[in-house]
Amino acid sequence: MTRSPRPSAEELQALDADGSFRARLEADRSAIAQLSETGDLEQLQRMVHALAGAAGTFGYAEVGDMAIELDDRFIAGGSVTAVDLARLLGALEQALGKPGKSA
Amino acid sequence: MTLDHGAAARDAAADTDRHRSASQARVLVVEDDPSIAGLLGRELRGLGHTVDSVGFMEDALLATRANDYALIIVDLGLPDGDGLDLVREMRRRSIDAPVLMLTARRRVEDRVVGLSSGADDYLVKPFAVPEMRARVSALLRRPSRLRSARTAIANVVVDADALEVTVDGVSLALPRKQLQLLELLARRKNHMTPKRMIEEALYGFDDDVSANSIEAQVSKLRRALGAAGAKVALETRRGIGYRLVGLDVVAN
């Protein structure tokens, strides 16, 4: 499985100097939580796919790896359970609670 | 897999230095994810390149019609279509700029299809920024496949690679901006080149371009060509642009 790169703390700071990606993660966390409730799988798949591509690039490695795992499962037509989504939300919570920790 | 960002960064920095000394390029980024598009724009501008960024296939095709790009970075999952179709269409239109495909599709067969559609390289998201920089530098070092670096018009030959102009085989030294201007006009010989296209080729978005910068460069180039005995005319169409023609064409 593709894994997210692990940039240094210094590189992390430069990647999201204005904090806009972190703000996006906050918005994604809320949106994914809401979509988990409504069960809109199509929109959920789009969000997970985008997160799989972007999170690791910006140094949020655990979030990125989790999203990649779910994205691969969506692509393969497999099932993504409420537990899976709870794990992704947990990774997002942890990353946002402790910036840079997931890298 | 854990990447060695330190070593990659050092390699990329060396590439960057070499590239910066060679030329600054105009790059088109076709990516609908604003975070990734923003990151690419910042990084490429940091390398000294001029960057245009669009999020739709249709806008990408319009941009390639208006500008001559040294590199095009294409994300595969665009809102109005598949990036693979965009690359095929660009190749069909003889747009020969190197294409770096960017995608979150990670399967080997996806990469194979991408490369066989006309892409020159493939970068899987998530990516390490130093690797992206290194791949961009490598693609920009490659000679264009279809376009010859040498363009001839009447007794004038412009060699874009050697950064040299000759008139009747005799070297004509020109300042860089005039050389870039002549290369562009020679490549579009006999066709009117809009002033905006010249501005974009010679200056970046952030450069301070005064109202008569282009006129001044054209005037100097015209004098230099005349003094060297070039059998060409650099015509001005007020409000439209400029055209370089061989004097035999003018006579006809």
Give how far B103 is from chain A: nearest CA, Å.
Answer: 7
Would residue A91 count as lying in a domain? yes
Please give the CATH number for the structural domain made up of B5-141: 3.40.50.2300
Would residue A81 count as lying in a domain? yes
- Look at A52 and B36 and tell me if their CB atoms are within 8 Å: no
pLDDT at A98: 53
Nearest C-alpha in B relative to A15: B39
Confidence of residue A100 (pLDDT cuts 50, 70, 90): very low
pLDDT at B22: 39
| Contact status of B5 with chain A (Cβ, < 8 Å) | yes
Reduced DSSP (H G I as helix, E B as strand, rest coil) percent helix, strand, coil of chain A, to 5: 70, 0, 30
Tell me the two tokens of residue A95. Answer: 């990353």
Name the CATH code of domain B150-251 (choices 1.25.40.10, 3.40.50.720, 1.10.10.10, 3.40.50.300). 1.10.10.10
Return per-residue pLDDT of chain B as tens, 252 residues.
333 444 444 444 444 433 433 357 899 999 999 999 999 999 999 888 889 999 999 999 999 888 889 999 999 889 998 899 999 888 887 788 999 999 877 677 777 777 777 889 999 999 999 999 999 999 988 765 445 567 788 889 888 777 789 898 889 999 988 988 998 898 888 888 888 888 877 776 556 677 788 899 999 999 999 999 999 999 999 888 999 998 865 444
Confidence of residue A99 (pLDDT cuts 50, 70, 90): very low
How far separated are the first and last CA of chain B, in Å rounded?
A: 66
Give the list of residues 6+ apart from residue B187 with CB closer than 8 angstroms, or none.
B68, B147, B151
Q: pLDDT: is B102 or A12 the higher one?
A: B102
CA atoms within 13 A on the CB side of A43: 11
Number of domains in chain A: 1
Residues 74-133 of chain B with CB under 8 A from chain A are: 77, 103-104, 106, 124-129, 131
Would residue A13 count as lying in a domain? no
Helix (H) or strand (E) run with residue B122 in it: strand B121-124
| Percentage of chain B exceeding pLDDT 70 | 83
B174: DSSP letter: -
- How far, in Å, CA of A98 to CA of A50, rounded? 22
